A and B are shown apart, each in its own frame.
Chain A
Amino acid sequence: MHSTNTRRLKERRLGRSRAARFTALALAMFAFQAAEASGEKAFLEGIHRHITLASTVADNGDLNPYAVIVAPVSAGKIHKGDVLVDNFNKVSNLQGTGTTIVDYNPATKKTSLFAELPQHLAQCPGGVGLTTAMTMLQSGWVIVGSTPSTDGTTRTKGNGGLIVLDANGQLATVWTGTNINGPWGNIAQIDHGSNATLFVSMSGFDVPSPWVRDPVTRYPVTVKKATVLRLELSIPEGKPPVITSQTVIAHGFAQRANVDAFLVGPTGLALGPDQTLYVSDGVGNQIVAISDAVTRTNSAGTGRLVTKEGLLRRPLALVLAPNGHLLVCNALNGQVVEIDPLSGKQLCAQWVDADQAQSPPGNGDLFGIAMTPDGKGFYYVEDDMNTLVEAR
């Protein structure tokens, strides 16, 4: 694993933001400790309503919603606070073929199509199949991962790429390269406007067909090649962001094909106030921590174990709640799990999808998660119903 930095640029940026970041860290730590001392209840214990907001099916019939993000600014077709959701499947339900992003406006309660990409982009190896990796920058650019397939399985998986769209949903550029293969998990980021840092998990390296089986377990073979990539972006005024450096800050995570879920690998990323990046390791059924994720120049391997198993059932997308706890979507049931990342304690879980058409209820239904702007709830998607839901 290697790092390709433009060191001077990064050092200048770090120098400018370090004081502010440490102040934020200290405040967050104080707030967190105060909450612990006062015996404040878990964030999920204050969640009582689950309101279906809209269908996430796109105009062309795309379905299987993955990423959920909240727009940080108004730009182009997007209003600040809008919820963007992408789809991984096309209408025939082939995985890795979804090409659309829908925009739900909480103020008007209307949904519109934000972007529809061509199925095959010459710039994106293998085509387009939009994943849980999506973010919107303050400059208005939307960056979304593609892990494409033509037959709905990893048998025909392409390397994919990170697709950059302008605020009107028009294609600006595609990032590919040796470090980019199967951008998969929800993106964590630091955004300063003219520059930004993104963290993306890559779960596609050498994942074979789901019918290539481990001779002992009879499950699809496990390949320990998934990575977490940090991208430093420069965002010139009025121009698409440019990658100024990229660093693999973690590697060696397990990944493997799955007929129903396409692939299983590191899927959730959340950046703590102390620059620790938390990663959900789906195959390992655990959450790990990558220390100094913002500044480190090498790989931390698979990081430090935060918590394993217990309430976790193949953890997917991650988000940091206002109390400093992690909220994690389970893949294998309809629960969101709350974890104190500092102690590693799993506090509780809540059923947010209890569809008994699956076993266990909600199995395979959850993917993306994002906090509401007021911090009082979170958005999530239900794959079984193709809907966007708000919990608060």
Chain B
Amino acid sequence: MPQETQPGQATNNAPSSLEEFVGRLRRSNYLLGDVWGLRPWLSKYGMTLSILETSEVLGNVSGGVQRGFAYDGLTQGVLQLDTQRAFQLYGGTFNVSALQIHGNNLSAQNLYTFQTASGIEADRATRLWELWYQQKFLQEDRLDVKVGQQSLDQEFMVSQNAGLFINTMFGWPMLPSADLPGGGPAYPLSAPGIRVRVRPVNPLNILLGVFNGSPVVNNTVDPQQRNSSGTSFPLNGGALAIAELQYSYPAVGGMVYGNGSQPLGRTYRLGFWYDTERFADQEYDNTGLSLANPKSPGIPATHCGDYAIYAVADQMIWRDPKDEDGDRAINFFVRAMGSPEEDRNIIDMSMNAGFTFHEPIMHRDDDSCGVGMGYAKVGGHAAGLDRDTAFYTGAFHPVQSGETYVEATYQYQLTAWCQLQPDFQYVFNPGAGIANPNAPGQRVKNEAVVGLRMNILF
């Protein structure tokens, strides 16, 4: 017979033993659990807090302008407020995030590469990153609008599979990093603007955005130092307009008939951006002379506007039919971007591709590994300036062409809040063939980079 008992006093919520504490630590999503009551307190007001520390040691064991290892780290804090939970306004999200960037920059010190080795490398700073409000509209949330300071690498040009890798260019691509003012509004920068997302039918999303043309007020110095706290909110100058069409399969509402064979999920993106700022010519000055010509005043010619088109494909290509949890799978991704405006673009084409394997070791359910590559091609005028410089100076000044890297990585899920990620990268023709300042008459030699990253969710 059942045992019925009456309401009684609750016991306290403290772990009763070290074993229980360790057990909780092992399974909690966060190292600090509820942060001594802070998370439940924030939740009362519809807020969530995430703090992620990424720390890594990377070093080049061959090639480069010098060899060695460097530590760098990033602490990201994100606070979000759900307006429905806070004050019953459906569909609103307020977001503020900040960055604390520490350590050294291996790519700048040792590698001299275009495609920097780590996506968190940046100038040391404590800075505001994003500050925006997003509101959903229409039934089924078919329209939403985001207004405020935004980092475009969070929504545009994203390959969801490429996020596994450490090299910067699997995130915000090489072409806008090299060509847009300040590298564009992407980590660790952002720009004020407005983004509209429309979903006319479930498989299709259309993203349209207009942002300040530059993430900093003045691009004549290091943009990260010009806007060192992230609070200058530039609204001067031109505009960066961007549009992206996304197609995903499967989509909500899709019907499935037949024997139940499972589809291989895919997302394709096609995009275009145009920046109305003025862009300096990479070879000629404002009098039509080469910038390398001793007679040149050294003031580059400028051109109005710049643009590029891009495409991204993420495609699952294999799922293990023997895996009972159904998520042991291999994915492929490719992303390419190009611009015909080679007079004003240092890089006029860049691309990435790779394979990722979720649960490569059976029963290591949350591990992933991957092999990927990136390529960046130097624009015609930038290469022309190299030729001109060699001609006018008579010194060793190789003509830059293209830079390629490959990366292999394994992400090991130690606990729900901790990942360890050994990494190997090899760079062919670093800096697209740039001269080595420490070895006169030589280019920077190919580089082998090894490292270990750790992610901790607090």
Chain A residues within 8 Å of B, Cβ to Cβ? 4, 44-45, 47-52, 54-55, 57-61, 90-95, 109-111, 118-123, 150-153, 155-156, 170-177, 179-180, 213, 218-219, 242-243, 246, 259-260, 309-313, 332-335, 346, 348-354, 356-361, 363
Contacts and interface: CB of A to CB of B under 8 A. Distances in A.
B79 to A, nearest CB: 14
Contact of A91 (B1, B43, B82, B329): B43
Given A175-B2, A309-B260, A332-B325, A121 B8 contact: yes
B256 to A, nearest CB: 4
Most buried by A among B30, B43, B141: B43
Contacts of B442: none
Interface string B301-340: 0000000000000101001000011110101000000000
A24 B318 CA distance: 49
Contacts of A213: 363
B246 to A, nearest CB: 11
Contacts of A313: 260, 262, 326
Contacts of A359: 265, 316, 319, 326-327, 329, 331, 358
Nearest to B139: A51
A94 B253 contact: no
Contact of B84 (A54, A173, A174): A54
Interface in B249-278: 250-257, 259-260, 262-263, 265, 267
Contacts of A172: 7
A317 to B, nearest CB: 18
A61 B11 CA distance: 20
A156 B15 CA distance: 12
Interface of B: 1-13, 15, 20, 23-24, 26-30, 33-34, 39-40, 42-44, 48, 82, 84-85, 88, 90, 139-141, 160, 202, 248, 250-257, 259-260, 262-263, 265, 267, 314, 316, 319, 324-327, 329, 331, 358, 362-363, 365, 416
A264 B82 CA distance: 32
Contact of B4 (A121, A150, A174, A246): A174
Given A59-B43, A354-B252, A93 B326 contact: no
B8 A122 contact: yes
Contacts of B26: 151
A152 B326 CA distance: 22
Given A48-B253, A59-B44, A332-B326, A246 B139 contact: no
B325 A260 contact: yes
B10 A118 contact: yes
6 contacts: A118-B10, A309-B260, A335-B256, A351-B256, A354-B250, A356-B314
Given A90-B34, A92-B39, A311-B256, A151 B11 contact: no
B250 A351 contact: yes
Given A93-B28, A332-B325, A361-B265, A150 B20 contact: yes
B259 to A, nearest CB: 6
A54 B90 contact: yes
B28 A52 contact: no
A387 to B, nearest CB: 10
Given A356-B248, A360-B319, A176 B5 contact: yes
Question: Top 3 A-B pairs ranked by shortest CB distance?
Answer: A118-B10, A151-B23, A61-B43
Chain A, interface SS category: loop
Contacts of A312: 260
Contacts of A334: 252
Contacts of A153: 23, 27
A14 B416 CA distance: 51
A356 B27 contact: no
Given A119-B10, A332-B326, A353-B252, A348 B365 contact: no
A173 B7 contact: yes
A54 B122 CA distance: 39
B324 A219 contact: yes
B1 A4 contact: yes
B44 A45 contact: no
A9 B365 CA distance: 51
Contacts of B141: 52
Given A92-B29, A110-B88, A259-B365, A243 B256 contact: no
B92 to A, nearest CB: 11
Contacts of B8: 121-123
A224 B252 CA distance: 35
B326 A119 contact: no
Given A44-B255, A360-B327, 17 more contacts: A58-B43, A60-B40, A92-B28, A153-B27, A155-B23, A170-B7, A171-B7, A174-B4, A218-B363, A219-B324, A311-B260, A332-B327, A335-B256, A351-B256, A354-B251, A359-B316, A359-B329
Contacts of A92: 24, 28-30, 33-34, 39
B84 to A, nearest CB: 6
Nearest to A125: B3
A313 B327 CA distance: 12
Contact of B43 (A57, A170, A171, A361): A57
Most buried by A among B48, B84, B325, B362: B325
B11 A150 contact: no
Contacts of B27: 94-95, 151-153
A49 B88 CA distance: 23
Contacts of B331: 359
A214 to B, nearest CB: 11
B457 to A, nearest CB: 10
A118 B9 CA distance: 9
Given A156-B23, A312-B260, A109 B11 contact: no
Nearest to B42: A61
Contacts of B2: 175-177, 179-180, 243, 246
Contacts of A351: 250-254, 256
A363 B319 CA distance: 13
A55 B47 CA distance: 12
Contact of A55 (B15, B24, B82, B140): B82
A219 B324 CA distance: 9
Contacts of A356: 160, 248, 265, 267, 314
Contacts of A349: 255-257, 260
Given A4-B1, A219-B363, A246-B2, A350 B253 contact: yes
A259 B358 CA distance: 16
Given A121-B10, A218-B363, A360 B29 contact: no
Contact of A150 (B5, B10, B23, B324): B23
A166 B363 CA distance: 44
A49 B140 contact: yes
B10 A354 contact: no
B160 A348 contact: no
B358 A93 contact: no
Contacts of A311: 256, 260
B266 to A, nearest CB: 8
A352 to B, nearest CB: 6
A91 B253 contact: no
Contacts of A179: 2
Contacts of A155: 23
Contact of B3 (A94, A175, A259): A175
B27 to A, nearest CB: 3
Contacts of A57: 43, 82, 85
Contacts of A49: 139-140, 253
Contacts of A174: 4-5
A219 to B, nearest CB: 6
Contacts of B12: 120
